[in-house]
Structure 1
Amino acid sequence: MGKPTFGLVEYSQEELMEMLLEQQGMTFKFKKIEGRFIHTFCTGQLLGKIGLTPQQVVGRELKEFLTEDFAAAKEEYYSQAWEGKEDVSYEGELLGVSYFASLRPVKRHGKVVEVIASCVDITERKVSEKELTETKELLESLFESSVDGICIMDTSGGVIRINEAFENIYGWKNAELIGRPAPMFPAHLENRIDEIYKHLNANKKVIHLETIRPRKDGENIHVFLTLAPIQDAEENIIALTVITRDISERKKLEDFYRKADKLNAVGQLAAGLAHEIRNPLTSLRGFLQIMQSGRAEKAEYYDIMLSEIDRINSIVNEFLVIAKPYQSNAQKNDLVRILQSVVTLLEAQAALNNINIATEADDDFPQVVCSEMEIKQVFVNILKNAIEAMPRGGDIRIQASVLQGSVRIRFIDQGEGISEEQFPRLGEPFYTTKEKGTGLGLMMCYKIIGDHKGEISIDSALSKGTTFDIMLPLTSDF
Structure 2
Amino acid sequence: MKRYQGRFIGISIVIIFITVWNFIFYTVLNNPINWTVDIIYTILILLVGAWVGGYYDQNLINLANLKESEERYKKLSDEMRMVLENIGDVVFHSDSKGYFLYLNPAWEKFTGYTLKESLYMNGLHFLPLEDRHDIIKKVRKAIRDKAEHARFEFAYRKKQGGRFWGEVQMKFYYDQYGELEGTIGTISDVTERIYAKEELIEMNENLAVQSQKLSIAGQLAAGIAHEVRNPLTAINGFLQLIKKDQKENHQYLDIIFSEIKRIELVLSELLILAKPQAITFKEKNVIEILHQVVTLLETNAILYNVAIHKQFQDEQIHIRCDENQLKQVFINLIKNAIEAMPHGGNIYISAKTKNGFAELSFRDDGVGMNKMTLKKLGEPFYTTKDKGTGLGLTVCLRILKDHHGSINVESEEGIGTDFQIALPLTESRKGQTRRIRMITNR
Kindly indicate which of the two structures has a greater share of residues assigned to helix. Answer: 2
Larger radius of gyration: 2
TM-score by length of 2: 0.39
With CA pairs under 8 Å and 6+ residues apart, which has the higher RCO, 1 or 2? Answer: 2
TM-score by length of 1: 0.36
